[in-house]
Amino acid sequence: MISVNCGLCTLKPQIKAHLLFPLFSSKNKTLPSSYSVKIVSSMSSYDKELAAAKKAASLAARLCQKVQKALVRSDVQSKSDESPVTVADYGSQAVVSLVLQKEIPSKPFSLVAEEDSADIRLDAAKETRERITKLVCDTLASDESCSVCNLSQEDVLSAIDSGKSEGGSRGRHWVLDPIDGTKGFLRGDQYAIALALLDEGRVVLGVLACPNLPLKSISGSSQKNLHGEVGCLFYAAVGSGTYMQSLDGSSAVKVQVSAIDNTEEASFFESYEAAHSQHDLTNTIARKLGVKAPPVRIDSQAKYGALSRGDGAIYLRFPHKGYQEKIWDHAAGCIVVTEAGGVATDAAGNPLDFSRGRYLDLDTGIIVTNQKLMPQLLKAVKESLEEKSSSL
Ligand SMILES: Nc1ncnc2c1ncn2[C@@H]1O[C@H](COP(=O)(O)O)[C@@H](O)[C@H]1OP(=O)(O)O
Ligand SMILES: [Mg+2]
Ligand SMILES: [Mg+2]
Ligand SMILES: [Mg+2]
């Protein structure tokens, strides 16, 4: 079910309704007919931070889309772990850092983010530095409320490097993946800008900008045959539910995870990249559950967004041995799903703990589903892992 988040909570209901309903048809965005609508309040103590996070992620998405549409070879580099990084990853991180610092100037600023500027400070990266600085300035200038942009290269590099915080269980820390699913981004497929806020070790808000995700359900689709209007912004604050709106600014709708309680009807999401998750193991788990539909393989935390609105019922992620999960790969997605009524745990059923620094300390993998399916899913995961280890 979907309901309307108005942000006009101090007004009488009749006035709210009068102000809200015309918004449904703005820019031709209409709600799918199967969704029922009700007006809800979503005021929380993190309203200011949430507004800043939505603005930061939306502007970063604008930068990323511009790069993705006209990607050139020199936009892409390889990091020391062989994973790709692009001018859009750096530009997105700089934009988010600058917008958050401008919008919330009063609080100490701590950002735990994926990228740093070491490689682009090298002499050989002069053109890349110039390109990133221009992208950041043009993106900020495209927003009415930041009309002037006279940032130097050093301003942009320092904004990127403000993401070196270690996070932890004390105080507030922003957590950012400037492009989650860089391989999907390079293929022209799914990716996400994932931003969350930790307060005393707990994720209290999360925003997922998914520029290539269709506004309508992707249930039963594969990444290569997605259709319709794209560009979703998912957001959630603790205790206030999860909402989705289009990245070009339509009204928000409240979303909920699938209510399916029969595992045979459940479809599951997993990584598109076989190098990121063990597809043989997830197949075994799905077989044990009696899942009939083939896996939906898509890149990035767009999977958490799609799950939060019930496009599928399960997300399975089992990285290969030796891979350590980072908090920015799950913090935003986790609150987006849990506020929509879902559950995210490690493979042993423990809640994900984002308070221990830049990495997650996990038992084996990450599994996400609704409350009803979780006990059966945990059982199937346990049996599949035991079978796998006894066959080695
Ligand atoms: N070898 C790896 N195993 C698992 N995940 C990886 C690996 N390399 C990169 N990742 C990260 O996995 C996530 C994408 O997962 P998915 O397969 O679900 O799309 C990204 O956060 C990606 O980082 P990045 O943010 O650099 O793209
Ligand atoms: Mg990366
Ligand atoms: Mg990532
Ligand atoms: Mg990334």
Q: What spacing in Å lies between the alpha carbon of 175 and ligand 1's midpoint?
A: 16
Contact yes or no for 309/256 (Cβ under 8 A): yes
Q: What spacing in Å lies between the alpha carbon of 176 and ligand 2's midpoint?
A: 11
Contact yes or no for 255/310 (Cβ under 8 A): yes
ipTM: 0.93
Cα-Cα-Cα-Cα dihedral sign, residues 7, 8, 13, 18 = negative
CA-to-CA distance for 300 and 323, rounded, in angstroms?
16
- pLDDT score, position 220: 86
CA-to-CA distance for 285 and 318, rounded, in angstroms?
11
Is 138 noted as a catalytic residue in this protein? no
- pLDDT score, position 263: 96
Q: Measured at the alpha carbon of residue 15, what is the angle toward residues 10 and 16, in degrees to the nearest 5?
A: 65
- For ligand 1, whether the C-beta of 271 sits within 6 Å is yes
- pLDDT score, position 221: 85
Is 2 among the annotated ligand-binding positions?
no
Is 346 among the annotated ligand-binding positions?
no
Contact yes or no for 156/274 (Cβ under 8 A): no
Contact yes or no for 258/309 (Cβ under 8 A): no
- pLDDT score, position 44: 57
Q: What spacing in Å lies between the alpha carbon of 319 and ligand 2's midpoint?
A: 15
Q: Which residues surround ligand 3, an ion (CB under 5 A)?
A: 177, 180, 329
Is 353 among the annotated ligand-binding positions?
no
Among candidate residues 86, 133, 139, 182, the one labeled active-site is: 182
Nearest CA to ligand 1 atom 4: 276
CA-to-CA distance for 130 and 326, rounded, in angstroms?
29
SS3 of residue 95 by DSSP: helix
pLDDT in tens, the chain (392 residues): 333 333 323 233 333 333 333 333 333 343 343 333 333 444 459 999 999 999 999 999 999 999 999 988 999 999 998 999 999 999 999 999 999 999 999 889 999 999 999 999 999 999 999 999 999 999 999 998 765 578 999 999 999 999 999 999 999 999 999 999 999 999 999 999 999 999 999 999 999 999 999 999 999 888 888 989 999 999 999 999 999 999 998 899 999 999 999 999 999 999 999 999 999 999 999 999 999 999 999 999 999 999 999 999 999 999 999 999 999 999 999 999 999 999 999 999 999 999 999 999 987 999 999 999 999 999 999 999 999 998 87
**pTM (predicted TM-score):** 0.89
Is 182 noted as a catalytic residue in this protein? yes
Q: What spacing in Å lies between the alpha carbon of 183 and ligand 3's midpoint?
A: 10
CA-to-CA distance for 46 and 34, rounded, in angstroms?
31
DSSP letter string, 233-293: EEEEETTS-EEEEETT---EEEE-------GGG--EEE-S-TTTS-HHHHHHHHHHHT--S
Atom of ligand 1 nearest to the CA of 303: 18
Contact yes or no for 329/194 (Cβ under 8 A): yes
